[in-house]
Structure 1
Amino acid sequence: MKKLIILVLLFNLISCKKEIEKTEPKRIITKPHAKKLSYNEQLEAIKNGTSKDSVLSNDIQFINDSLLKGKFKLDISKYETENEKKNCFPIRLPKKMFNEFYNEGFNNLGDLNGDKKDDFVFVLHALNYCEEGDSYYFTDNSIPRILTDSNCCHPSSILNIGDINEDGQAEIAEYYSSCASRFKSITIYSLKNNKWKEIKTIPFALNDEYYIDRDFKKLFKKVSKNNLKYFEIIDIDAEGKIIASWKKLRIE
């Protein structure tokens, strides 16, 4: 009889425990979150991991001291402020790659912004992972760079086509190449309040008759104030002749 009573008590105890386990919420053990590094902390870690034969793509001291060598001081602070907001981190590049860019030198465009000083253009690699291609920079820091999605940029690809709208600032043309295709383009820009305003992109097919850096004065002609004529080359026919025509463009 005593054994029976003990068995009944044990059964009730086990049943009660199972019922409690069903009704009690399970405790979730969480691990403490790792501290999220700030932009500057992550940037410092990238710098510390850079080898001696490499340099960060936005290392302005290296660019100014080793590449520009005191000819002028490039200021990229306004671009870097935007990059930080977007968490765009620099790229590690071999130093010799920077030298390859610099070996192309500068292209003298004359006075672009009406300050009576010659403005030169040169090319640098993307500053960070968010940028898809090279950029054109000018020796006057008040003139904004032109950002591209191409890795086939050259100083000779920026052309001064004259002050078409007669506002005291020259318009420019950017010859664009995607590296591979024979179909290129030319984009006309006008400088407005220290910003480049894109006016029009014109198709340009590679051909043996006109070369953009040699013949651009034949391809662009100012007609009158605000009015430009340009020679649009869209293709080459089966006989090798260019398919082209003169078009008009108004620049306010």
Structure 2
Amino acid sequence: MRTFILFVILFSLVSCEKGKETLPKIDSHAVSSKSKSPKKLSFDEQLKAIKKGTSKDSVLSNDIEFINNFILKRKFKLDISKYDAEGKKKECDPIRLQKKLFNEFYNEGFNNLGDLNGDKKADSVFVLHALNYCEEGDSYYFTDNSIPRISTDSNCCHPTSIINIGDINEDGKSEIAEYYSSCASRYKAITIYSLKTNKWKKIKSFSFVLNEKYTIDKDFKKLFKKTSKNHLKYFVISDITIDDKLVTEWKNIRID
């Protein structure tokens, strides 16, 4: 019995030694040597490498030439330089997208909202995918580059999800409402924005639960009523009871 146990121990030791011999040998000098470590590319160099490695049937999400020529059909020239600068500052890589999917994504075109900023020119809204990996979802862009985009964390954005609700505070600029969808949940939201010094100021968000009585396509504009200068009523659909009754309420808000 003792002889058997001794044999097992010796066999285990030999096996362990053989296992160690099969492990790769690491040259500690090579690891610690700065001269042999690979050169770290700058962010601009990384971007060039990403663009160079993009196949002909794909395009980068921030390829403004492709966006202007093939997505926007040269109807106007979009400027995304300030958003690109933000991404570059955070070192956020652009996203590779197949051109086919890129085109399918933007086939909804533009939604004419009328004059938003008081320059007597009609403004339209359209949707673009995230420009880089740091952005969480789609963004709404406007055909006037002085009007800032509205970024979201949703991938279910549509041009018709933005509406002009009129100049509530009578400052010569129209307020807008955005219908927000997380794609899956029946609980949605509507957010009111006001344009202040070329920035969108978020005024209020409220609930819109999907239901059979009111739909966003047909009834979006019925959810808002201007009562006087600076004052707006909005219709909240917060829930549905067990017996299918809507929990609703008109609420008042002031927009200065």
The AA in structure 2 aligned to 1:191 is L
Task: Indicate yes or no: 2:81 matched with 1:94.
Answer: no
Pick one of 188, 201, 214 that aligns with 1:184.
188
Residues in 1 aligned to 2:203 and 2:171: alpha-carbon distance in whole angstroms: 15
Q: 2:51 aligns with which of 47, 54, 59?
A: 47
CA contact 1:234–1:244 (8 Å) conserved in 2: yes
Q: Report the counterpart of residue 127 of structure 1 in structure 2.
A: 131
Q: Distance in 2 between matches of 1:111 and 1:207?
A: 32
Segment drifting more, 30-39 vs 234-243 = 30-39
Shift of 1:215: 1.2
1:216 CA displacement = 2.2
Identify the range of structure 1 (104-113 vs 207-216) with the bigger mean alpha-carbon deviation: 207-216
- 1:38 and 1:155 map into 2 onto residues whose CA distance is 37
Please tell me whether residue 210 in structure 1 is matched to residue 214 in structure 2: yes
Alignment match, 2:148 = 144
| Residue aligned with 2:202, SS | strand
How many Å separate the matches in 2 of 1:151 and 1:117?
Answer: 29
- CA shift, 1:242, in A, is 1.1
Aligned partner of 1:31 in structure 2 is 33
In 2, the alpha carbon distance for the partners of 1:41 and 1:147 equals: 27
User: Counterpart of 2:134 in structure 1: which amino acid?
Assistant: C
Query: In the alignment, what sits opposite 1:154?
Result: 158
Corresponding residue of 2:201 = 197
- Following TM superposition, by how much is the alpha carbon of 1:39 offset from its aligned partner in structure 2, in angstroms? 1.0
Aligned to 2:170: 166
Q: Secondary structure at the match of 2:50?
A: helix
AA in 1 matched with 2:121: K
1:233 corresponds to which letter in structure 2? I
CA deviation string 1:192-242 (max 9, x = no partner): 010000011111100111112321221100000100000110011122221
Letter aligned with residue 222 of structure 2:
K
CA distance in 2: counterparts of 1:214 and 1:191, whole angstroms: 25
Matched, 1:229 2:218: no
TM-score (norm 2): 0.86
1:108 aligns with 2:112: yes
Task: Tell me how large the CA RMSD over aligned residues is.
Answer: 1.0
Secondary structure, counterpart of 2:218 in structure 1: helix
User: Counterpart of 2:88 in structure 1: which amino acid?
Assistant: E
Q: Which amino acid aligns with 1:232?
A: V
Shift of 1:87: 0.1
Quick one: distance in 1 between partners of 2:217 and 2:91? 37
2:249 equivalent in structure 1: 245
| 2:207 aligned counterpart, secondary structure | strand
Counterparts of 1:107 and 1:77, CA distance in 2: 23
2:85 is aligned, of 81, 86, 91, to: 81
> Which segments of 5 or more consecutive residues in structure 1 lack a partner in the other structure?
1-27
CA distance in 2, matches of 1:174, 1:79: 21
Give the TM-score, by structure 1 length: 0.87
Partner SS, residue 153 of structure 2? coil
Q: Distance in 2 between matches of 1:251 and 1:61?
A: 39
SS for the counterpart of 1:84 is helix
Deviation at 1:97, TM superposition (A): 1.8
Counterpart of 1:57 in structure 2 is 61
